[in-house]
Amino acid sequence: MTTSDITPVILCGGSGTRLWPVSRKSFPKQFIDLIGEGSLFQQSSKRLSGKGFAAPLVVTNSDFRFIATQQLHDAGITPGAVLIEPQARNTAPALLAAAVLMAQSNPAALMLAAPSDHYITQADAFCDSIRRGVPAATEGQIVTFGIKPDRPETGYGYLELGDGTANGALPLKRFVEKPQLAEAERMLADGGYLWNAGIFMYTAQTLIDAFAEHAPDMLAHVKAAVDKAVPDLGFLRLDPEEWTKCEDISVDFAIMEKVSNLSVVAHEGDWSDLGGWNAVHQHADRDADGVALQGGAHAVECKDTLLRSESGAVQLVGLGLDNIVAVAMQDAVLVADRRRTSTLGDVVKQMRAASVFQADNFPKDHRPWGFFETLILSESFQVKRIVVNPGAALSLQSHKHRSEHWIVVVGTAKVTVGETKDSLNVQMVHENESVYIPLGAIHRMENPGDTPMELIEVQTGDYLGEDDIIRYEDVYARGQGAKG
């Protein structure tokens, strides 16, 4: 058997906080150009594509569905299916839904479950490790992939290996939770332990059988959610009523720590889950003093430091810094001792509790038609830069609380506006021209050109929230609300 039978299952619905302020709930780390070429999601998709792999099956949520498909398109990859989770329920139901869907056409199909935010530089060596696990997975084993440790790492879980080998894989004795430093040092010296990478290979039926034995209630709800799923454009929306009945649990706790047919393949190449700024510093290009610079950043007499600027308008300068992470964005700045960055998630929780907008949201908001970014925001007016992709169109909509003034600065906008749907007028607005959208008017903007169109929008009103949208028509089949 060859790896041509393997269908990658790429999970990209999660939202992390350990790389704040670059990674936030509205646009998490897997979609960011963090290190290497392209986003981590694109790197993962390319690594598991081409000869030896079927089209990927992607599992994400409604907010990220267009981001995921656009990034796949930009990477030259066509997904086999894109499942939309009604709400985040962790990895167990997500992977099971993919297996149930695949089993409808081929219960014996090999599937590789892979997070979308791992950083692996040696793609060929990683694919070789996957191939070594094919015989065991074909014969009904669940194969997990462990990383040979090169240091006593306390941020990863571990896999304790058993004795012997079968079909190129090793038996797994037990999972080990993230250890204290002394225990990590002991396991490194012992040599019989691997880091748990959270990557699994199995046939669709093998995973379903494991859930049937150890989590039958979840299997029933997931099967029903798949059976009642509704096609939506190029996506498949899982049934929300059945999905909410699923336990919020990882596949490790739900299944992997209970099954007896689990084997391990050791991967000795470069790997990181980029779980924090220390990991980014470790894998970034560093000078002789251990200094890594990204974007518009400059270092003077610094040591073991990461400086990163995300905004072309912000130049970040570090002077005499030692063991520091400094990340500057348009709306937020992080300055931290590298030894303390593992607690960054707790800091974000504190900001959420204080209703700090930057805890979860960016000034740039990605939409299926392009993006907008807030330039100025006050109580009674807001200024935005809006970029519309070629051939794309916003929904036909109106607002109850604000009027808008559009000034086209790049390209040409096709603008529809009127008091009612029966009184709509269409006009072309060119560069250096503007149009006014009165309060309550029904309107839409489109980009009829073949290059991105940009405009400046000035909003005025007593409420400027993104949920002040009434949609009448939408080519992206979104519902009501901020993003639909």
374 and 338 co-located in one domain: no
* CATH, residue 18: 3.90.550.10
Q: Is 480 contained in some domain?
A: no
pLDDT value at position 390? 95
* CATH, residue 410: 2.60.120.10
Average pLDDT, the chain: 91
205 and 238 co-located in one domain: yes
For residues 386 and 388, give the distance between their C-alpha atoms in angstroms, rounded to a whole number.
Answer: 7
Q: CA 32 → CA 16, 41, 259, 410, distances in Å? A: 12, 8, 35, 26
* Structure-block tokens of residue 64: 């990220």
pLDDT value at position 277? 94
Q: Is 77 contained in some domain?
A: yes
Residue 33 half-sphere exposure, CB side, CA atoms within 13 Å?
Answer: 9
Domain of 331, in residue numbers: 280-354
DSSP lists the bridge partners of residue 82 as 58
400 and 309 co-located in one domain: no
* Structure-block tokens of residue 217: 């209630």
The CA-CA-CA angle for residues 245, 246, 252, to 5°, reads 165
245 and 299 co-located in one domain: no
Q: Which of 333, 354, 375 is the last residue of a domain?
A: 354
262 and 335 co-located in one domain: no
Sign of the dihedral defined by the CA atoms of residues 124, 267, 94, 358, in that order: negative
Q: Is 484 contained in some domain?
A: no
300 and 401 co-located in one domain: no
105 and 245 co-located in one domain: yes
pLDDT value at position 77? 92
What 3 state SS string does 219-237 have? Answer: HHHHHHHHHCCEEECCEEE
Q: Is 482 contained in some domain?
A: no
Q: Is 359 contained in some domain?
A: no
pLDDT value at position 167? 66
3-state secondary structure of 320: coil
Q: Which of 321, 354, 387 is the last residue of a domain?
A: 354
pLDDT value at position 484? 46
57 and 177 co-located in one domain: yes
217 and 294 co-located in one domain: no
Token look-up 């896999």 returns 159
pLDDT value at position 356? 93
Q: Is 274 contained in some domain?
A: no
417 and 347 co-located in one domain: no
254 and 396 co-located in one domain: no
pLDDT in tens, 240-293: 999 999 999 999 999 999 999 999 999 988 888 888 999 999 999 999 999 999
Q: What is the pTM of this model?
A: 0.85
260 and 301 co-located in one domain: no
pLDDT in tens, 132-185: 999 999 999 999 999 999 889 888 899 999 887 666 788 888 899 889 999 999
Number of domains into which the chain is organized: 3
Q: Is 219 contained in some domain?
A: yes
Residue ranges of the chain with per-residue pLDDT less than 70 = 1-4, 165-167, 479, 481-484
Q: Which of 215, 234, 267 is the last residue of a domain?
A: 267
Q: Is 295 contained in some domain?
A: yes
